[in-house]
Structure 1
């Protein structure tokens, strides 16, 4: 009976780790992990508290604890070691998901095959008298076997939207990314207006991008702190 109980405990712990691995993934189009979408942050007028990460940490810790109870293992024999292994596993899961997403996107033939590296992407908008200067870099991977051609629309941050009365800014350049290629797109565009900017001299970071062509479009949100700060305005 004790052997059967341990076997069930081991199976449940394995399923728990697999489930937590899945929950730590995302679609790349938005930065939130699946667990953050299921267990939404608690929000106030100007603050937010995310507890999703605690669920993953506690879940992994107790799965490791169960494994040690079934069969003692030096690596997870103490609470401190289990915490260290939990952190290591979370980093491994995050790194593994990058490859999982790119493999999944590789089955698409359209703009859904584009992977955005948020850590290497930064685009700023600068208002200067009667023009808006958009500059920065976007680091993307074309995961498909087809060449992807597209233009980019940048969602106007709160201050920019108030100034130019537009939700999106369409960049003039067209970009081409070869199949299965990693590219850094240099964004450098000047958009002129008929009237002078209301808030001349400001600078704001972009937090949402739409890649589009005649076949369709693909939306990407930037880093969590970038677009969630704008949502609070």
Structure 2
């Protein structure tokens, strides 16, 4: 092989390597740009992004599958949120979700009704009308099971995907239970008092009846008095 041929082969090899490197660079750069576009679309909640299938069909098809999967996932999340919103909006139990700063991100209609509010955005807004409840929830304690006026209050914690720790508060109106308990208490007290009173007057009644049976006189006043005692 002559020197000229060797030079030509070397130049050809260098050109092929350079072309291959350039092609690979363009491929990687284009793929990187497409991935960046996909991520930006995801961050901006744009689920309509699709890549053409006529170029880099395999890569674009994969990226489109990812975009479609994420779009379907976002739709399912949205449907789940609406589902739980409809549930919390329909139940009679009040539900409040509070952030560590005291900001209320959820107060369902039942909670607003129980607390007598049209809207509720901060826990501190209850300090005037529900000071006991505000003090009880101060510091966002979990595992509470307490009663404030006519409300049964329970709390639990939930950590969101971004690490934010939320306090979930449930409120139940126990007015009926309190009334039932009050009636039961008074009934029991009445039974006890009746029993004690009857124990106390039973001997008096017995003595009065015995005296009346044994009394042989004709004093109407004595007879009527024993009858009244009996």
- TM-score by shorter chain over 0.5: no
Larger Rg: 2
TM-score, length of structure 2 as denominator length: 0.29
TM-score, length of structure 1 as denominator length: 0.28
More strand by share: 1
More helix by share: 2
**More relative contact order, 1 or 2 (CA 8 Å, 6+ apart):** 1
